[in-house]
C-alpha cells in the first residue's frame, strides 16, 4: 500500500514523527476499530481516530442525539438533535476525513450481537454509559482475545484501562457492577462535559499506540483522573487468579444476562 | 494507627483491608481499593494487612460515557 499525495500531506505530522512514520500510518489506515457508544467518550475517540486516519471505524449506538447530549458529545451538533447518533457521527467523520470507512451499527450492543460485531475489529473502545455494556465489552473482548480500552466518567472524574490478551481485565478490578441503588449515571448525578474529552483522548491515544505499535499501553493499570484537583493517578493492577472471567477457574464462559436497558427507555 | 484514605489522614484500629472495608461500610460490589499505588483484588482483602502510614485509595467504578 502506498500513500497518495494528499495522504502524504494529510498525515505529514505523523510521517515525520520519530518512531511513527509511514509504517505507523499505514498500520492505522489498514486498521478497524469498533467504538461502542457514540456519546461523551465515543465522540472525541471517533474524531481523533478519524483525523489520524484509522481506516475503518465501526460505530455501535442505538440511540438518538438529544439536547442534553450536546454539552459533552462533541461529534454531534444542535442540528443533529433527533437523528440517530451513528448517522450524525458518520457525517462528522466524513467531513473530517474521507479516507475513513464508517460502518454503522444502529443497535445497542447485546449478548446476542456482541461477539459477531467485535470479532470483525482490531481494537474496541468502550465509551458506553452503563455497566451492563462495559461488562459485556470486557467479557466479549477477553473471550475473543481482542484488545480494548474501557473508560468511565462521572461527576468530575474518570477512569480507564487498556486490555490486551493476558492482561488484567475489568473484572479483575471490579468483579461485579455496583448494586442498582449505588449506580450513578451522568443522567442522575451529572458530569463535567470536558471530562469526556480528557478521558476520550486518552482512549484514542491508547488505541493509536496499539495499532501503530508504539509505546507502552495502560495494561495492568487503572488510570484515574480528578478534575477538581487536576490529578491523574496510575494504579498498578495484576490479573486476579480468582477472576470469574480470566482467572484459573472461570465461571463466566459465555455472554449472557447483562440486562441492559437503554437510558432512553428509563428516563428522558 | 494512622493511615491515609483518599488523601485524608484517618485513625483506625483495624489491621486488614477487609476489616477496613467493613468499618467504612464499603459496598460489596463496584468498588476497588488500592494500597500504596497497587490495586488489591477483592479476593485478597482478608489477607491484606494494613500498616501505619499506608495510602489507601478507594475507587468507585464509573459508568458514564
pLDDT digits (tens, 9 = 90+) for B12-61: 999 999 999 999 999 999 999 999 999 999 999 999 999 999 999 999 99
Whether pLDDT at A263 is above 60: no
Q: With bands split at pLDDT 50, 70 and 90, how would you rate the model's confidence at A181? A: confident
Residue-level pLDDT at A90: 98
| Percent of chain A's residues with pLDDT above 70 | 96
The verdict on A225 touching B (C-beta cutoff 8 Å) is: no
Return the SS3 of A111: coil
C-alpha span between A170 and B63 (Å, rounded): 12
CATH number of the structural domain spanning residue B46: 3.10.20.30
Residue B36, min C-alpha distance to chain A (Å): 9
Cα dihedral across residues A147, A48, A103, A214: positive or negative:
negative
Beta bridge partners of A159: A152, A224
If you ran DSSP here, which 8-state letter would residue A100 be given? P
The verdict on A192 touching B (C-beta cutoff 8 Å) is: no
Q: Quick one: cell of B3?
A: 493511615
Number of domains in chain B: 1
Residue B43, min C-alpha distance to chain A (Å): 7
Residue-level pLDDT at A180: 87
The verdict on A197 touching B (C-beta cutoff 8 Å) is: no
Element (H, E) at A136: helix A131-144
C-alpha span between B32 and B40 (Å, rounded): 8
Whether pLDDT at A120 is above 70: yes
Q: Structural domain boundaries of chain A?
A: 12-266
Q: With bands split at pLDDT 50, 70 and 90, how would you rate the model's confidence at A267? A: very low
Residue of A131, A134, A173 lying closest to B32 (CB–CB) = A173
Whether pLDDT at B3 is above 60: yes
Whether pLDDT at A265 is above 90: no
Whether pLDDT at A268 is above 50: no
Q: Which among A112, A107, A104, A164 has a CA at the least distance from the CA of A138? A: A164
| Binary contact (A174, B39; C-beta < 8 A) | no
Residues of A in contact with B60 (CB under 8 A): 154, 178, 184
Counting one residue from A and one from B, how many pairs have CB atoms under 8 Å apart?
105
Task: Give a yes or no: residue B65 inside a domain.
Answer: no
Residues of B in contact with A39 (CB under 8 A): 65
Residue-level pLDDT at A97: 98
Residue B18, min C-alpha distance to chain A (Å): 15
The verdict on A107 touching B (C-beta cutoff 8 Å) is: no
CATH number for region A12-266: 3.40.50.720
Question: pLDDT tens digit string along A194-229?
Answer: 999 999 999 999 999 999 999 999 999 999 999 999
Is residue A59 within 8 A of residue A102, CB to CB? The reply is yes
| Percent of chain A's residues with pLDDT above 90 | 91
Which domain range does residue B39 map to? 2-60
Residue of A154, A234, A235 lying closest to B64 (CB–CB) = A154
Residues of B in contact with A190 (CB under 8 A): none
| Binary contact (A159, B27; C-beta < 8 A) | no
Residue of A178, A183, A242 lying closest to B43 (CB–CB) = A242
C-alpha distances (whole Å) from A227 to each of A42, A156, B64 are: 19, 5, 15
Task: Give a yes or no: residue B26 inside a domain.
Answer: yes
Question: pLDDT tens digit string along A23-78?
Answer: 999 999 999 999 999 999 999 999 999 999 999 999 999 999 999 999 999 999 99
Return the SS3 of A134: helix
The answer for residues whose C-beta is within 8 angstroms of residue A180's C-beta and 6 or more apart is none
Is residue B54 within 8 A of residue A141, CB to CB? The reply is no
* Average pLDDT value for residue range A11-27: 98
| Binary contact (A172, B41; C-beta < 8 A) | yes
C-alpha span between A109 and A39 (Å, rounded): 14
Element (H, E) at A11: none
Task: Give a yes or no: residue B31 inside a domain.
Answer: yes
If you ran DSSP here, which 8-state letter would residue A122 be given? S
Task: Give a yes or no: residue B38 inside a domain.
Answer: yes
- ipTM comes to 0.95
C-alpha span between A88 and A80 (Å, rounded): 6
Task: Give a yes or no: residue B16 inside a domain.
Answer: yes
C-alpha span between A33 and A55 (Å, rounded): 8
Backbone angles phi, psi at B5, to 5 degrees: -115, 120
Residues of A in contact with B42 (CB under 8 A): 175
Residue-level pLDDT at A117: 98
Amino acid at each position: 500500500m502506498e500513500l497518495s499525495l494528499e495522504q502524504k500531506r494529510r498525515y505529514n505530522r505523523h510521517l515525520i514523527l520519530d518512531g511513527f512514520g509511514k509504517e505507523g500510518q499505514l498500520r492505522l489506515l489498514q486498521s478497524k476499530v469498533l467504538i461502542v457508544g457514540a456519546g461523551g467518550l465515543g465522540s472525541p475517540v471517533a474524531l481523533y481516530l478519524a483525523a489520524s486516519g484509522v481506516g475503518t471505524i465501526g460505530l455501535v449506538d442505538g440511540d438518538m442525539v438529544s439536547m442534553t447530549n450536546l454539552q459533552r458529545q462533541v461529534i454531534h451538533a444542535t442540528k443533529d438533535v433527533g437523528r440517530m447518533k451513528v448517522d450524525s457521527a458518520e457525517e462528522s467523520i466524513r467531513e473530517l476525513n474521507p479516507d475513513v470507512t464508517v460502518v454503522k451499527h444502529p443497535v445497542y450492543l447485546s449478548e446476542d450481537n456482541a461477539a459477531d460485531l467485535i470479532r470483525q475489529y482490531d481494537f474496541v473502545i468502550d465509551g458506553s454509559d452503563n455497566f451492563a455494556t462495559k461488562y459485556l465489552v470486557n467479557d466479549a473482548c477477553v473471550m475473543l482475545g481482542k484488545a480494548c480500552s474501557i473508560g468511565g466518567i462521572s461527576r468530575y472524574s474518570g477512569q480507564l484501562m487498556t486490555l490486551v490478551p493476558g492482561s488484567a481485565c475489568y473484572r479483575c478490578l471490579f468483579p461485579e457492577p455496583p448494586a442498582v441503588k449505588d449506580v450513578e449515571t451522568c443522567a442522575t448525578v451529572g458530569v463535567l462535559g470536558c471530562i469526556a474529552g480528557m478521558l476520550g483522548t486518552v482512549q484514542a491515544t491508547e488505541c493509536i499506540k496499539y495499532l501503530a505499535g508504539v509505546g507502552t499501553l495502560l495494561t495492568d493499570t487503572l488510570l484515574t483522573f480528578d478534575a477538581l484537583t487536576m490529578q491523574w493517578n496510575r494504579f498498578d493492577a495484576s490479573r486476579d487468579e480468582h477472576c470469574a472471567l480470566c482467572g484459573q477457574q472461570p465461571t463466566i464462559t459465555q455472554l449472557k444476562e447483562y440486562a441492559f436497558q437503554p437510558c432512553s427507555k428509563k428516563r428522558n | 494507627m494512622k493511615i491515609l484514605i483518599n488523601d485524608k489522614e484517618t485513625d483506625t484500629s483495624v489491621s486488614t483491608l477487609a476489616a477496613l472495608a467493613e468499618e467504612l461500610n464499603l459496598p460489596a460490589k463496584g468498588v476497588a481499593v488500592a494500597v500504596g499505588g497497587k490495586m488489591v483484588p477483592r479476593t485478597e482483602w482478608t489477607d491484606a494487612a494494613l500498616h501505619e502510614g499506608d495510602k489507601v485509595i478507594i475507587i468507585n467504578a464509573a459508568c458514564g460515557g
